[in-house]
Amino acid sequence: MARMLAIGTKADGSLFELPADLGDKKIALLAQSNKGKTYGLGDILEELEAAHQPFIATDPANNLYGLRVLPDGRPSGRKVVIIGGDHADIPFEKDQGERMAESLLATPICAVIDLAFESRGSARRFMTDFSTRLMRTKPEIPRVVVLEECPELIPQNAFGVQAQMCKAAVSKVATIGGNFGYGVIAACQRPATMDKDVLSQCEALIVMGMTHKKDRKTVQEWMEAKDIGERAAAAFAELGSLKPGEAWLWWPGEDRFERFTFRKRETLHPREMNKLGLKASAVKLGDMQAFVEKMKRELSRTVSAVPAPPKLLKAAQDISELAKNPKLRKVLLETNAGVANALAGAQDAVKEHQDRIGELAIENGRLRSQVQDLAEKLRAAEREKKSAVLRLEAVRDHLRPQWEALQGLFNELGEVKAAQDRSIWEPWLQKAGQRGCKRMLEVLIEKGELTRNQLGTLSNVASTKSTFRNYLSWLKTNGLVEVDRETVKLRTV
Residue 307 has pLDDT above 50, yes or no: no
* DSSP one-letter code for 156: S
Task: With beta carbons less than 8 A apart as the criterion, state whether 182 and 104 touch.
Answer: no
Name the residue ranges covered by the structural domains of the chain.
4-300, 360-413, 422-490
Distance in angstroms (rounded) separating the CA atoms of residues 413 and 408? 9
Which of the given ranges, 60-69, 275-284, 364-373, 435-444, has the highest pLDDT on average?
A: 60-69
Residue 156 has pLDDT above 70, yes or no: yes
pLDDT tens sequence across 310-351: 655 566 566 666 656 776 666 666 676 666 677 667 767 766
pLDDT tens sequence across 449-480: 999 899 888 988 887 788 888 888 888 888 88
Task: With beta carbons less than 8 A apart as the criterion, state whether 462 and 456 touch.
Answer: yes
More confident position, 413 or 169: 169
User: What's residue 27's pLDDT?
Assistant: 95
User: What's residue 232's pLDDT?
Assistant: 81
pLDDT tens sequence across 76-89: 899 999 999 999 99
Kindly give, in sequence order, each residue whose CB lies less than 8 Å from that of residue 37, ignoring residues fewer than 6 positions away: 29, 30, 31, 187, 188, 189, 208
User: What's residue 415's pLDDT?
Assistant: 47
Residue 309 has pLDDT above 60, yes or no: no
4-300 matches 422-490 in fold: no
Report residue 209: phi and psi, to 5°.
-55, 135
User: What's residue 233's pLDDT?
Assistant: 84
Sheet holding 481-484, edge to edge: 449-451, 487-490, 481-484
Kindly give, in sequence order, each residue whose CB lies less than 8 Å from that of residue 176, ignoring residues fewer than 6 positions away: none
User: What's residue 418's pLDDT?
Assistant: 43
User: What's residue 416's pLDDT?
Assistant: 46
Which of the given ranges, 111-120, 413-422, 449-458, has the highest pLDDT on average?
A: 111-120
Lowest model confidence (mean pLDDT) among 102-111, 160-169, 371-380, 410-419: 410-419
Distance in angstroms (rounded) separating the CA atoms of residues 119 and 153? 12
Class of domain 4-300: alpha beta
Pick the CATH number of 422-490 from 3.40.50.2300, 3.30.43.10, 3.20.20.70, 1.10.10.10: 1.10.10.10
> H-type helices in 283-325, by residue range?
289-300, 310-322
